[in-house]
Amino acid sequence: MHLPLASQIINLLAAILLLLSFAMLTQRRILSLINLFALQGLTLTLSTLVVAWSTGQQHLYYSAALTFALKVLILPWVLHRLIRKLNVKWDVETLINIPTTMLVGIVLVILAFNLALPIAQLAGTITKSTLGIALACVLLAFLTMITRSKAVPQVIGFLAMENGLFFAATSATYGMPMVVEFGIALDVLVGMVILGVFFFQIRERFESLDIRQLEKLKEE
């Protein structure tokens, strides 16, 4: 069956989003990780705009503008300033080697598509075919978060998870109510401020952002 142009564009952007998730999973440099997160936010913005244009859902235009402002401009800028202030080393230490992480990531993608299939069949949106990719992005971001030993890459992984959840909401129900989205955006910004203070405290106490250093608190 021939897909409408909007569906083809959405599927293409969903594939790009998945590739960026894999790129984040294998990235060893914090600066590149932040840039990939910004690209993921830009892809999410474009996808939301296409859905808004093809379905006439006006509130999605506001969602796209909020996503662009928060995830393409503000958060990457905050993260860049944070790593400069903390003088963080560029290399990202992983708890599992990259080839093994990639294999686990492939397994998670297969699992995500199998879990999303029954839900996608019930959904009536033009984006229902991308629900499996949205869930895969969430799982890959979670894997990115738990396989890093430094605090900053873990935060980026957490933010990427929120990207996947937003994409899943758009795929299943054409997005969340604006009140909810603004609330989430505010929570993310406040959370980044708190985490920034937390990072400085860890750095001052342990002279490192390696979360394994926190185990010393138990011993003390």
Under DSSP, the state recorded for 147 is T
Helices 178-206 and 75-86 sit at what angle, rounded to 10 degrees?
Answer: 0
- Cα–Cα distance list, 124 to 48, 91, 127, 173 (Å): 17, 44, 8, 8
Write down the pLDDT at residue 48: 86
- pTM for the full model? 0.78
115 to 21, 63, 131, 165, 168: CA distances (angstroms): 19, 27, 10, 15, 13
pLDDT tens, N- to C-terminus, the chain (220 residues): 345 777 788 889 989 999 999 998 888 788 888 899 999 999 999 988 888 888 777 878 888 888 898 889 988 888 888 787 777 655 566 777 888 888 999 999 999 888 888 776 666 555 567 788 888 998 998 898 888 877 778 888 888 888 888 887 776 666 555 445 555 555 565 566 555 555 555 555 555 555 455 555 444 5
φ, ψ dihedrals at 91, nearest 5°: -70, 135
Q: What is the pLDDT of residue 205?
A: 56
Could you write out the DSSP letters of every residue in 71-108?
A: IIIIHHHHHHHHHHHHT--SBPPBSS-HHHHHHHHHHH
SS (H, E, C) 9-54: HHHHHHHHHHHHHHHHHHCCEHHHHHHHHHHHHHHHHHHHHHHHHH
Q: Which residues contact 174 (CB under 8 A, 6 or more apart)?
A: 51, 55, 57, 60, 125, 127
